[in-house]
Structure 1
Amino acid sequence: MYLRNNMRNFISLCCLLFIAGKVAAQDSLITNIQSRKSLDLNGKWQYIVDPYETGFYDYRYKELNEKNGDAYWNSGIPANKSEKKEHGYIDKYSIDVPGDWNHQKPEFTYYEGTIWYKKSFDYAKPANECKQYIYFGAVNYRADVYLNGKKLGMHKGGFTPFNFEVPAGLLKDKDNLLVVKVDNKRYADEVPTLNTDWWNYGGITRDVKLVEVPATYIRDFVIQLKKPVNGQAIGKQPEVSGWVKLNDIPASAQNITVQIPELKFSKQFAATGALTQLSFKLPKVQLWSPETPKLYKVIVSTSSDKTEDKIGFRTIEARGPQLLLNGKPVFLRGICIHGEIPQEVRRAYSQQDAEQLLNQAHELGCNMVRLAHYPHDEKITRLADSLGIMVWSEIPVYWTIDFGNAPVLEKAKAQLNEMITRDHNRASIIIWSVGNETPVSPTRTNFMHNLIIRAKQLDDTRLVSAALEVNYSSGKDVNVVDDPLGEFVDLVAFNEYLGWYGGSPDKCRTTNWSTPYNKPLFISETGAEAKTGFHADSLTRFSEEYQEWYFKEQVAMFKRMPANFVGLSPWVMADFRSPKRNNPLYQEGWNRKGLYDDKGNKKKAFYILQNYYKQKSAEALNR
């Protein structure tokens, strides 16, 4: 027993050291890709379906040697007519990138496993010394990346960006071979875990680029307004804090220049190594808000590099029971959104997709969206900046994560780090969420608390929360949201489904809510299913009339919520695919809680919530 326990501890320590190295590697993530010189690698990629992972392991199930000709990271083209090759890439088997594989071919609808992707490209090498990186917006779930037969690295996490540096001399002028082994199999010790209520879309689901940067370059920067302290006003010259991260300690002294041309602002800072802290006053700035989503071009440069972004300046804080945007109370008129285009049954990835999703939210009357249950494409957070829609962004720590597993915590931290790193200059994002509906236990609370601590270390200018479950009070009229995690979050958010999971909607008439925490209270989910076109009386489940009644009773309950009630994001904007929803008449593999159906049609309940949001908007204008 002693030896077995010590061996288990040793293995856990090795896993932690390995993952710590992987997490450290994520600090190399390059941001503001849209402002970099890059080669677009999207388009048609050839593929091989490999359910047995024959191209990765030998017949003894050991990873193939990098130079092994049978490995699928090689082209598969025989050197002569006698050489044996049992794989190859041809145009007959091609697939679009970005895009999930599930919707592109009928045989892939339910496929979970490995598919190899291959892209050939030419590259004109620049005259000046530079570095190159292969950048992926997201790959679900595990990606092993090879270039010209050499493995660049491996990444886990299906919804966050990553990049790998290309070794010097590896790129060729012609016929570079980029191969990605994509594996979307689910495991109990991954994030998310085995059990989710959404479709496990596999593939290279977001943009791929070859990014070119100088030898010493600006890897990342943060420029944000400081969060007010002790209720102090923002003032006419709000204080900005942040930092600039270079890829390396510069060989000679360098200055970092920050410019905001519209404000005629320019200031130099002496680089203090790889990370340089920034602090300055910003006069005459117009604050970002849903009513005036003002963005400024911000340019950060050194003697060797320049990058820029469009940034809005605002503050968000929880002060006692109040939620304050730019120092003023705000009510969040939200909706939950999946990163999916239901009418085409696929993962969302394009600018047009982002416009569809946020325009639907805008038509509903929303000033906020909860991007569930994972980080969405960067295009949607950037568009939210422009449209003035506040955002809750979340990592997929969902339901039954293995909370007692230390390596799982490190995987969750890595995804949290990648989510925040990509979007920490997005004014629209006001809440980082560390999870959804996690079952209460001391082990789980410690796990989640660690994520909250990490989020605040990475970004102290925003709120940190999680969507909590409710244990409904049996026979009582007051439900108390007293999850112990409430002590650590900034916003006490909870999911409630009174009238759908247990009882009927009229239960809302006698139900009230409270929390022991002196913090803002937010309903992060509520909803009921309805099949468009199925009409019946309001007592009939899955009818539009039932869903309509549900929201009528919910709205009446919202109107008598306690004073610290600061908003809601009902579940969900549009019907979405889920293997868990198998009623043969009303679901057929779809979660039907959408206010829009899978064809973009509005259900009757849409107008109930829209009318409530119009009332709340009018109240805010008259305040």
Structure 2
Amino acid sequence: MAAVTATPAAAQDVRSTQVLGEGWVFAKGAEAPATGSSDWVRVSVPHSWNRVGHYTNPGVHPNRPETLDDYQGVGWYRLSFSGPRDLDRKRVYLQFDAASRTAEVWLNGKRLGSHAGGFSRFRLDATAALKPGAANTLLVKVDNTAPDVGTATADVLPLAGDFFVHGGLYRPVSLIVTDDVHLDLLDHGGSGVYATTRSIAGGRATIDVTWRARNDAARPVRVEAIVRLIDAAGAVKAEQRRSMTLAGAAGGEASATLDVADPHLWNGVADPYLHRLSVELVASGGRVLDRVEQSFGIREVRIDPERGLLLNRKPLRLHGVGYHQDREGKGWAVSEADIAGDVAIMREMGVNSIRLTHYQHGQPIHDLADRYGLLVWDEIPLVSRWTMGASTTASDGLRADAAQQMRELIRQNMNHPSVVTWGIANEVDFGKSIPIFITNKDGPAPDPMPLLAELNGIAKAEDPTRPTAIATCCEGRLLGDAEVPITAGAADVSGANRYFGWYYGDPSGLGPHLDALRAARPNQPLSVTEYGAGGATSIHTDNVLGGDVDQRGRNQPEEYESYIHETAWATLSGKPYLWATWLWNSFDFATTRRREGDAIDINTKGLVTYDRAIRKDAWYFYKANWSDAPTVHINGRRYVDRAYPFADVRVYSNAPETELIVGGKSLGTMKDCPQRICVWSKVALADGGNSVVARGRFAGGVTEDRIEWRLSPEAARTIRIDSGALVAGAKSFGSDDFFDGGEAGDVNASTGYGKPPPPKVVTGTDAALVAQTYREGDFAYRVPLPRGRYTVTLAFAEPSLESGKRRFDVTANGRRVITGLDVAKEAGGPLKAITRRFMVSVGNEGLDLRFVGRTGKAIVSAVEIAR
């Protein structure tokens, strides 16, 4: 039997809480095992049985293939505990901070109730079933079955989404004891106390407070409600008293207005000042029956289409991250310390806002956001899909669940000053563009607008002080002829999830696209709610423009993630009409939709790895741009064994002056680097170890970063370029680099979401993967070689053309070395490799190889240069 300590909620023991954390047993299966069965295993709560997602790169990782568990179905929890004594005139409630995704609860064999929705807090009245001072048995059935037609979870959001829904009692469970007369604990999991700042003007603040109380005794009772606002020093800044008469076995609602003189405002990260809001119910004899006390920040927020977000009437541009709650090795069963650690990583990077995606998060992160002044976008899990099977409308059950989760989100979080918007949906505007998200492949696509209108109305009725928000994916995106619903207008403010340069288009397309969205709705505030790219910490490239990234496959080098963030932030930071931007994502997270980069079932768009062990290069880019902390970071520290004897050295530095030192030799100083990116191009590396040091000079002293790169004797002697490859196809080759012009190609082009066709194979070479990619057009390779004589070997493979369709010349330092080459003719057909070799003398100017088309475009698959 678990030993549980009762902890008073305040100085007076008016409400006690028993945390039910230890002594649980757990089992999977449709039916609960018999008591004493060996099928039960001991666990502590918070708990999740799921372990999803693992890295394939070398190293010690919490998740490994043999420890994974992606079971989605029914799980059972049982706990024996000693009930509290002396419950005369008391009520007892079981509180579940979350249970995924549905829960049914029995105490001592009596069914207390159920809850649908895996993210919100809920409570059940356990008074009649509890045995005071004796042994009690609690049984909980949870079910995280993936929703489908006919399943028990078919009407429980989310129905879809690019994240894994873990199962279990993954947030704390507790037992709460109150007086018969108490603030309502059954109000959608809320506190029963709801406060908003009505106005701040003339050196005063007006705060409206509403509370819901309940009398569970048989007789009516008259109580006095005392409402106080208390400052950080303990002084009462405002107080109101209201009398209430509560009928027997009934509830009531009352309100008061607090007038606060000379208020100390909650002002975001600049000054996150918190008061305490206290509501007490006091009996006629002066006995305190119940008390709820919460942190409260006095602030005024408005989001304007021209001036952006105004915090206390001053513009504040929000920049931050999206955040999923899972962690490698724990799933969703994370501790408060884990969450605090995540927030510390975000704050060090310099965020002033968090988008809590794609579901309701728990109280710990909301409390931390309040404490540190981080503004929050909250949302419910209406993600991508809202219908089942062939239906084009949401079922009544799903509409009810969405409405319930909307009310729970608001009532549980509306007192947090950090929360500025209520998100009603994410990416429900796919239409027929990507059928994987819509099961109704035939006929019209479901229309999300009726459900969105319903949710928007609920949110406005619950809390008219905050704007509603929606995140969209597809309006104006590069989707060919696909028609998508325009959903941005369903909420007060909109956010665009856009991945130019990743899933579609070029990074340069982001700016014009946002301008078009702005022009379409100039009176609606616009933000960017997602942007980014995957980044595998064990996969690297020598040039981010060398080839095509594979959004659904392996070729996702860490450097390309940095490139997307650099180019996106250059655009976003120059758009004053954006009231906020949130990158995707703060941390890698679990999803069973992906096999990409160096991971399986992990979305690698995080700036920090799933286990929080590695902060990727892009994390330091934002720290240099968003934080005032002295930051100097050399990119490519995990690309240790270099392919070429020359490398671009990129340093993220917010220092006024930054010096680069390679092999003990200074390569000069750069001042006030644009976007905090300092670049030394084609730095020569020596055979063996190369120490690389970046030294930033700040007013307070010097900050430096140092790494070690290695160059093998073979790489020092011979340059092997895998043309058209973002990631080299063979270990002895480097990815495409040193080029000027042309376009990258691949005989096996990426198919995006579709099933790839059988791969094409280039024959006639031992390096088939190298020959698979190519560069074509009119282009050059300019390699900064030292003086000397070199042997150049070029490899060619015709992707698909017939003989005579492509003929081209190659020159080396102005001398024609290949004339009128027809690769298909010389090889005897497409996908057959041939090589050409020649000698060249190189002077001070280095090597300049030019490829010029006569008929069609020039092409090359690989370039090898040997001393």
With the length of structure 2 as denominator, give the TM-score of the two structures.
0.59
Q: 2:207 aligns with which of 240, 251, 268?
A: 240
Output the aligned Cα RMSD: 2.8
Task: Report what 2:473 is aligned to.
Answer: 469
More relative contact order in 1 or in 2 (CA 8 Å, sep 6+)? Answer: 1
In 2, Cα distance between equivalents of 1:438 and 1:464: 15
In 1, Cα distance between equivalents of 2:478 and 2:127: 62
Instruction: Give per-residue Cα distances to partners, 1:56-86, cap 9 Å, x unaligned.
Output: xxxxxxxxxxxxxxxx6xxx45xxxxxxxxx
Q: How does 1:182-331 map to 2 (within 5 A)?
A: 182-188=142-148, 189-219=154-184, 220-226=192-198, 234-248=201-215, 251-261=220-230, 262-271=235-244, 274-290=252-268, 291-303=270-282, 304-321=289-306, 322-331=308-317
In 1, Cα distance between equivalents of 2:112 and 2:280: 29
Task: Report what 1:420 is aligned to.
Answer: 410
Instruction: Give per-residue Cα distances to partners, 1:582-601, cap 9 Å, x unaligned.
Output: 13x53311100011122421
Secondary structure, counterpart of 2:569 in structure 1: helix
In 1, Cα distance between equivalents of 2:130 and 2:573: 63
Structure 1 473/90 Cα, relative in aligned 2: closer, same or farther at 3 Å? Answer: closer
Task: Report what 2:339 is aligned to.
Answer: 354
Letter in 2 for 1:568: T
In 2, Cα distance between equivalents of 1:599 and 1:143: 29
Task: Report what 2:72 is aligned to.
Answer: 112
Q: How does 1:389-538 map to 2 (within 5 A)?
A: 389-402=374-387, 403-439=393-429, 443-472=447-476, 484-508=486-510, 511-513=513-515, 514-515=517-518, 516-517=520-521, 518-536=523-541, 537-538=543-544
Aligned length: 543
Contact 2:534 2:561 in 1 (8 A): yes
Kindly indicate whether residue 584 of structure 2 is the aligned counterpart of residue 571 of structure 1: yes
Instruction: Give per-residue Cα distances to partners, 1:323-364, cap 9 Å, x unaligned.
Output: 21112211111100101123x352153220121111111111
Instruction: Give per-residue Cα distances to partners, 1:416-441, cap 9 Å, x unaligned.
Output: 11121111111111111111100267
Task: Report what 1:132 is aligned to.
Answer: 92
Q: Which has the higher helix share?
A: 1
Letter in 1 for 2:603: N
Structure 1 34/575 Cα, relative in aligned 2: closer, same or farther at 3 Å? Answer: farther
Contact 1:334 1:568 in 2 (8 A): yes
Structure 1 293/483 Cα, relative in aligned 2: closer, same or farther at 3 Å? Answer: farther
Contact 1:47 1:89 in 2 (8 A): no
Letter in 2 for 1:347: W
In 1, Cα distance between equivalents of 2:567 and 2:604: 19
CA displacement at 1:34 relative to structure 2: 5.8
Secondary structure, counterpart of 1:341 in structure 2: coil
**Structure number with bigger Rg:** 2
Structure 1 108/136 Cα, relative in aligned 2: closer, same or farther at 3 Å? Answer: farther
Contact 1:508 1:553 in 2 (8 A): no
In 2, Cα distance between equivalents of 1:503 and 1:469: 14
In 2, Cα distance between equivalents of 1:208 and 1:381: 18
Secondary structure, counterpart of 1:335 in structure 2: strand
Structure 1 487/248 Cα, relative in aligned 2: closer, same or farther at 3 Å? Answer: farther
Between the aligned residues of both structures, percent identity stands at 26
Letter in 2 for 1:598: Y
Q: 1:54 aligns with which of 19, 31, 50?
A: 31
Instruction: Give per-residue Cα distances to partners, 1:533-576, cap 9 Å, x unaligned.
Output: 32102135311111111112112211442x42112001001111
Q: 1:594 aligns with which of 593, 606, 628?
A: 606
In 1, Cα distance between equivalents of 2:204 and 2:159: 50
Contact 1:318 1:490 in 2 (8 A): no
Letter in 2 for 1:535: H
CA displacement at 1:318 relative to structure 2: 2.2
Letter in 2 for 1:266: E
With the length of structure 1 as denominator, give the TM-score of the two structures.
0.81
Letter in 2 for 1:543: P
Contact 2:424 2:456 in 1 (8 A): yes
Q: How does 1:75-154 map to 2 (within 5 A)?
A: 76=34, 88-89=36-37, 93-103=41-51, 109-126=69-86, 128-154=88-114
CA displacement at 1:380 relative to structure 2: 0.9
Secondary structure, counterpart of 2:303 in structure 1: strand
Q: 1:376 aligns with which of 361, 377, 380?
A: 361
Structure 1 559/295 Cα, relative in aligned 2: closer, same or farther at 3 Å? Answer: closer
Letter in 2 for 1:94: R
In 2, Cα distance between equivalents of 1:96 and 1:407: 33
Secondary structure, counterpart of 1:546 in structure 2: helix
In 1, Cα distance between equivalents of 2:478 and 2:334: 44
Structure 1 112/442 Cα, relative in aligned 2: closer, same or farther at 3 Å? Answer: closer
CA displacement at 1:99 relative to structure 2: 1.9
In 1, Cα distance between equivalents of 2:581 and 2:452: 22
CA displacement at 1:167 relative to structure 2: 3.9
Contact 2:108 2:138 in 1 (8 A): yes
Secondary structure, counterpart of 1:155 in structure 2: strand
In 1, Cα distance between equivalents of 2:333 and 2:271: 27
